[in-house]
Amino acid sequence: MTSQTQQQLPSHLDPSTYPRTVTHPPNTHLTLTYSPLDANTALSKISSPSAGANVLFLGTTRNSFEGRPVTELSYTSYPTLAFKTLENIASDAVKKHSLLGIYIAHRLGSVPIGEASIVVAVSAGHRGPAWRAGEEVLEA
């Protein structure tokens, strides 16, 4: 992409304005980024000495969809709406499952086969609430 093309992009589509992160202390971390996602970062953000369970989900690009070959997925976002939606999802999960920490990161732009496009990590006192919260956040 040429610099002239990048200058014409609205800021919400310009990769140079990312990553964008919203953090609500002490336990909610939300990120939109064009960079590869890192499971260790997610786990470090939700870590708590009170947690008996940490659940991590990585959604990765696979090589086919409905029998057709896939080489990559591509994502765009309107950050204001995306963060509002993610904040609601995270807040509901924290309250419903008494989460100690939650981390949601979504990759933007091109995501090649085998790389993660979404990371959801949650921590809770016990595995049941952590498992349920992780799945509910992903499916929301």
User: Rounded CA gap, 87 and 26, in Å?
Assistant: 14
pLDDT beyond 80 at 25: no
Asked if residue 41 has pLDDT above 70, the reply is yes
Structural domain count, the chain: 1
- Containing 90, the helix (H) or strand (E) segment is helix 79-97
Per-residue pLDDT tens over the stretch 4-23: 444 576 777 788 888 889 99
pTM of this prediction?
0.89
Query: pLDDT at position 9, please?
Result: 67
Please state the rounded mean pLDDT for residues 94-121.
Answer: 98
**137 exposure class (CB count in 10 Å sphere: 0-12, 13-18, 19+):** buried
Mean pLDDT along residues 109-127: 98
% of the chain exceeding 70 in pLDDT: 94
Find the domain containing 29 and state its range.
3-139
For the ranges 16-20, 29-33, 71-75, 121-125, which has the lowest average pLDDT? 16-20
Sign of CA dihedral 20, 44, 131, 50: negative
CATH no. for residue 50? Answer: 3.90.1170.40
By the 8 A CB rule, do 99 and 27 touch?
yes
